[in-house]
Amino acid sequence: MKTVLITGASSGIGKATALHFANNGWQVIATMIALDESHSIKEVPNISCYELDVTCTESIEKAKRAILQTFPTIDVLINNAGVGYRSFVELSDDQNLERIVSINWLGVVKMARAFIPIFREQGCGQIINISSIAGLVNLPLGSFYHSTKQAVESFSECMAYELLDFNISVATVQFGNAPTNFQNNAAKSDVSSIASYNRLMEKITQTLQEKSAKNKNLTRKITHKLLEIAENPQQSFRRYSIGFDAQAMKILRARLGYRLFNRIIRKFIAS
């Protein structure tokens, strides 16, 4: 029975992925920032819950020691933990900036750093980093979220070269707005005295909520694709885009170039 470690597994895509892997015969190590968030999955067969804060090296090492006592072999690491932050640059604050960078990018870095030695000793392993279509295209109010996801894309591709000799594969997965509470939980800058900013925030927030509501089958597509990737690791680095939104945006950005793509976004989203 293969084993997968998933960060941010208490809710949303992480929880759905943990359940899907467990239902398909995998041993699931579900990690989360606090174990009191595990009530909905801790009793599920094949799922073991551990407290782990991806922003804290000490927390990662403590969890790793506990995990390895029960699971001496880990086949796949899925770096799923992430947060959102919609803000205008001039209205951004240090606390939210540091939080999104620490979780979305440095959390991926620290988890990979911690478990690569395990994979090397095993002679195999796979790292799947949950990115976003935001890692490939740039949209309004995404200055900080998109930056972290693009950092994950670059980091993952560079890291893949380092790990070729050790039979450790690396992949990233991008998708659009899934029908979870992610957008509702995303931090946002406060209403300001700048009318233009307020209008744009309202427009983008409404658009994201509408897209999330429409993508009813996206969560299922994501979990099924993640299982497929985990069961068929590729030697070379791979990027996987899931869902119509991600595929369409990826193709449009590639074919139109940034100038035409930017014009379309300005007309239909930011105007």
DSSP category for residue 47: E
Helix-, strand-, coil-residue percentages of the chain, each rounded to 5 = 55, 15, 30
> Which SS3 state, helix, strand or coil, does residue 4 take?
strand
Query: What single letter denotes the amino acid at residue 243?
Result: G
Query: Is 145 considered catalytic here?
Result: yes
The residue annotated as part of the active site, out of 149, 197, 258, 267, is 149
Closest to 207 in 3D by CA, of 265, 253, 137, 130:
265
Closest to 145 in 3D by CA, of 199, 82, 204, 201:
82
| Tokens 């949209």 sit on residue | 139
The residue annotated as part of the active site, out of 2, 145, 216, 240, is 145
Strand duo 168-175 + 238-242: pairing = parallel
Phi, psi of 158 (to 5 degrees): -65, -45
Active site amino acids? 145, 149
